[in-house]
Structure 1
Amino acid sequence: MTDFALWPVLAGAAAFFAVGALWYGVLLSKPWQRAAGLTNSQLREGNMALIFALTFLFEMLIAMVLWHLLARTDPKPFVVMMMAVGFAGGVMIPAIGINYLYLRKPLALFLIDAGHFLFGMAAMGAVFVWFRS
């Protein structure tokens, strides 16, 4: 396994992106919108192509870092999942939690966004397990 492999990284980022599409588009769009305090007109104001492109690029960066770590350590499949979910629970979610505390964001928004990171990283981990098998 090389330190960087395009297809697993793309697929891992795509899995994370798909979780986000389901999470914010189908499952929790209205609760998220309320918790974020955004109106329908505010949601329409942004450049969605740019927002989605940058989201995917950030998810690519996350995938590259995780893939690199896996390439360096060559863990068993269950450890890959522990690393992916552990990275979400031990780094990403606390980081957004700290940010939300200072921004005075509501707990509901934190829980929705934290769930997205947790399930998104689990999906990425599952894709990486599949690519490594």
Structure 2
Amino acid sequence: MDNISIVGIIVAALAFFFLGGAWYTFLFGKQWRAEVGISEEEAAGASPNPMMFVYSILVSLVIATTLAKLISESSVEYGLKVGLGVGAGVGAAILAQNYVYEMKSVRFWLINAGYVIIGLGIMGTIIGAFQAA
């Protein structure tokens, strides 16, 4: 645990944050908004609260720190495996459990779970790379 990289944590958290921005706008924004019930007109006129971004970055830092503590073997491959494993085995599974009670669509779950799995895979890869250096 001595090899935890603070820079790796920060870079991974920022990567997750920016992936979320791309994921929920350019990549799957239209589908996600349709599932949430936000019209394109409402989305175009909406002004996001800046605190949403602050909270998102803080949560990303918590996730990255947790992953850094789990990635004991410092390598890109191991970081990727841990990130994907935690993303699928914990993140996506928790979202699935929530959707059972929230009665959301499978498409909505796939959009959100995909972001968690891919995002944590990227975070783990970055952290593994920085901790190996």
Question: If the length of structure 2 is used for normalisation, what is the TM-score?
Answer: 0.86
Identity value in percent? 26
Tell which has more relative contact order, 1 or 2 (C-alpha 8 A, sep 6+). 1
Tell me how many residue pairs correspond in the alignment: 130
Q: Which runs of 5+ in 2 are unaligned?
A: none
> Which one-letter code corresponds to 1:29 in the other structure?
G
Question: If the length of structure 1 is used for normalisation, what is the TM-score?
Answer: 0.86
> Which one-letter code corresponds to 1:62 in the other structure?
I
Q: Quote the residue 2:46 is aligned against.
A: 44
Please state if 1:22 is matched with 2:22: yes
> Which one-letter code corresponds to 2:37 in the other structure?
G
Separation in 2, partners of 1:10, 1:25: 23
Separation in 1, partners of 2:59, 2:48: 18
Separation in 2, partners of 1:129, 1:3: 10
The answer to whether the 8 Å contact 1:24/1:32 transfers is: yes
Deviation at 1:25, TM superposition (A): 1.5
Deviation at 1:75, TM superposition (A): 4.7
CA distances 1:64-90 after superposition (whole Å, capped 9, x unpaired):
0111122xx325432221111000000
Q: Quote the residue 1:101 is aligned against.
A: 100
Q: Which runs of 5+ in 1 are unaligned?
A: none
The answer to whether the 8 Å contact 2:70/2:82 transfers is: no
